[in-house]
C-alpha cells in the first residue's frame, strides 16, 4: 500500500471526470485541459464507448487514470475483472461490495490501487429510509470505510463531508478520493444529482488526497479557467492543512 501521500504533486490532485458519451469528445476535453489537468476519471459511460483503447490513449500521453467501474459481482468474477486492469498503467480502480468482493479485488490488483466505494454522493438520508436502513449516511460511510481499509484497500471513495472523520479515526495509511466537489464561487451545477458536496479546499483541508470534478469544469463558460480555479482551491486546502487546521 502506498502511504507517501504528502509527495503527491498538488497539480495531480485534481481528477477530471470524463463523463462524456464518445471517445472523440473525451479526447477533445483532454487536449483542451492539458495545461491544467494531469489525472482523468474514466467511468462506465466512456469505458463502454472506448474500452481499454481509451485508457491506453490517456496513459501513453503520460496522464494518470482512475478507472471507475465500481466492480460488484461474485468474487471470482471481480478477481478476474480486476486482473484485466492490472498492468495497463491505471492508477486507481474502484470496487463496491462486501468483504469477499473487496478481498477478491485486492488479491488481483497487481500494480493498480484499489479504492473501496463507501456510499455514492447521490445518496441521502431519505434513500436510507426507503431502503429501511437505520442510522445515518455518515455512519454507513464510516462502517464501509473501516471494513475496506481492514480488507486491504489502498484507498476510499467518499463524499467530502466524511473525509475529516475518516482521516481522524482511520489514520493516514490510505488515500481518500472525493467526488461531489463544487466551485468555490458558489455557481450551481446543471442537473445536479449529488447530495453531499463541498469545495475542493474543504475536502483537501479535511484530509482528502484527490478531488474528482466533472460538471463544474465541463459546464463552465471557460472550462480551462474553471480548472485553474479548482487547482487554486486545492492549493488553498493544502496550505490550511499544513498550518495544522485539518
Active-site residue numbers?
Answer: 70
The secondary structure of 30-76 as a DSSP string is HHHHTTT--EEEEEHHHHHHHHHHHHHHHHHTT-EEEEEEEE-S-HH
Element holding 213 (H helix, E strand):
strand 210-213
Taking CA 96 as the corner, what is the angle to CA 30 and CA 231, rounded to the nearest 5 degrees? 35
Residue listed under C-alpha cell 446543471: 190
Taking CA 166 as the corner, what is the angle to CA 182 and CA 132, rounded to the nearest 5 degrees? 85
CA distance 49 to 69: 13
Q: Are 226 and 185 in contact (CB under 8 A)?
A: no
Amino acid at each position: 500500500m502506498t502511504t507517501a501521500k504528502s509527495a503527491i504533486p498538488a497539480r495531480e490532485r485534481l481528477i477530471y471526470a470524463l463523463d462524456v458519451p464518445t471517445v472523440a469528445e473525451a479526447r477533445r476535453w483532454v487536449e483542451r485541459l492539458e495545461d491544467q489537468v494531469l489525472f482523468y476519471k474514466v467511468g462506465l459511460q466512456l469505458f463502454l464507448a472506448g474500452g481499454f483503447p481509451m485508457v491506453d490513449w490517456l496513459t501513453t500521453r503520460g496522464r494518470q487514470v482512475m478507472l471507475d467501474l465500481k466492480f460488484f459481482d461474485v468474487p471470482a468474477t471481480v478477481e478476474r475483472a480486476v486482473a484485466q486492469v492490472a498492468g495497463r498503467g491505471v492508477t486507481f480502480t474502484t470496487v463496491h461490495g462486501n468483504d469477499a468482493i473487496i478481498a477478491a479485488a485486492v488479491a488481483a490488483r497487481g500494480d493498480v490501487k484499489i479504492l473501496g466505494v463507501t456510499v455514492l454522493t447521490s445518496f441521502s438520508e431519505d434513500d436510507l429510509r426507503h431502503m429501511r436502513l437505520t442510522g445515518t449516511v455518515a455512519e454507513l460511510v464510516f462502517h464501509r470505510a473501516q471494513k475496506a481499509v481492514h480488507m486491504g484497500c489502498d484507498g476510499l471513495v467518499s463524499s467530502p463531508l466524511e473525509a475529516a472523520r475518516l482521516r481522524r479515526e482511520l489514520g493516514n495509511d490510505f488515500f481518500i478520493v472525493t467526488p461531489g466537489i463544487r466551485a468555490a464561487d458558489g455557481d450551481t451545477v446543471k442537473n445536479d444529482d449529488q447530495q453531499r458536496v463541498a469545495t475542493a479546499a474543504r475536502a483537501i483541508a479535511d484530509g482528502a488526497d484527490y478531488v474528482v470534478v466533472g460538471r463544474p469544469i465541463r459546464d463552465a463558460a471557460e472550462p480551462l479557467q474553471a480548472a485553474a480555479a479548482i487547482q487554486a482551491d486545492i492549493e488553498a486546502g493544502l496550505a490550511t492543512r499544513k498550518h495544522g487546521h485539518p
